């Protein structure tokens, strides 16, 4: 929940030159109110525009929700699904709010799966998030938690669909905390994700799926993270709000 429409347009304008120089695919996912301005700002660039969330229903009495067809009609090409801040899986509760209150968004593996299929049905490329809390990591359950999220969240896909999506590993304890998963460990867990996709949908799907790392990605750690064999890209959070930082990460992606 950052940037007004005009601010989003200015930020994208400051990214365009660097985006044109790198081979990496570049997608920005602004707030819903900034999507039209973002689309206008990206018109003559290689940058694509995604949404931060969407509902799975086509229309109806779902006040406050955004349907996939609405996003498609605007020209949105990507959508983030199941981000930890939507799941209510927080690393550090905000001051004055209990974890129970923060979990009101209510995202689950089941709703992630519904949104995934709705996005694919409208030709929108989903970026499906997964990741463990600090309690789960400390208990040694990282692999089991992440694998289970992939199994439930990606249920019902064809091998071809699985090969075409993006999965973002974002350890909850590294979201908005300034903490970063060590590159070796991030690569290992991204490998677990790839192995899980392979077990579910075959070797071709495992090779085709793009696995990103998200969680305090910054200019000073981006090169190390993105050089790892199982990390295909970055889901950038706070660093994406500052053009100089985001441009540095784009250059690290190459």
* Partners of 130 in the β-ladder: 169
> Choosing from 83, 85, 117, 136, which is the catalytic residue?
83
Distance CA 82, CA 214 (A): 13
Q: Which residue has the tokens 């996003």?
A: 71
- Tokens representing 42 are 């990206």
Distance CA 40, CA 46 (A): 12
Distance CA 128, CA 244 (A): 27
Sheet with strand 78-81: strands edge to edge = 27-28, 48-51, 78-81, 125-130, 166-169, 210-214, 233-235
Residue 95 annotated as catalytic: no
> Choosing from 122, 160, 170, 179, which is the catalytic residue?
170
Handedness of CA 90, 62, 36, 7 (dihedral sign): negative
Contact 121, 158 (CB under 8 A): no
Residue 185 annotated as catalytic: no
Distance CA 154, CA 116 (A): 7
Residues belonging to the chain: 254
Distance CA 193, CA 176 (A): 22
Contact 227, 186 (CB under 8 A): no
Give the active site residues.
Answer: 83, 170
């Amino acid at each position: 929940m950052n940037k007004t429409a005009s601010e989003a347009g200015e930020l994208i304008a400051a990214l365009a030159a660097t985006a044109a120089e790198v081979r990496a695919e570049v997608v920005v996912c602004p707030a819903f109110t900034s999507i039209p301005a973002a689309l206008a700002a990206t018109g003559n660039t290689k940058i694509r525009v995604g949404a931060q969330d969407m509902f799975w229903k086509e229309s109806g009495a779902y006040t406050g929700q955004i349907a996939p067809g609405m996003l498609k009609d605007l020209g949105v090409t990507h959508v983030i699904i199941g981000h930890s801040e939507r799941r209510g899986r927080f690393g550090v509760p905000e001051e004055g709010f209990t974890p129970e209150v923060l979990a009101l968004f209510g995202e689950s593996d089941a709703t992630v799966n519904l949104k995934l299929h709705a996005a694919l049905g409208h030709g929108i490329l989903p970026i499906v998030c997964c990741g463990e809390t600090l309690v789960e990591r400390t208990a040694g359950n990282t692999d089991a938690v992440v694998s289970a999220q992939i199994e439930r969240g990606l249920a019902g896909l064809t091998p071809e669909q699985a090969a075409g999506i993006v999965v973002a590993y974002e350890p909850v304890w590294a979201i908005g905390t300034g903490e970063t998963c060590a590159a070796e460990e991030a690569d290992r867990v991204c490998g677990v994700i790839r192995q899980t996709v392979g077990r579910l949908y075959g070797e071709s799907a495992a090779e085709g799926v793009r696995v990103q790392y998200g969680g305090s990605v910054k200019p000073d750690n981006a090169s190390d993270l993105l050089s790892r064999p199982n990390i295909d890209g970055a889901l950038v959070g706070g660093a994406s709000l500052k053009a100089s930082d985001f441009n540095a990460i784009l250059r690290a992606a190459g």
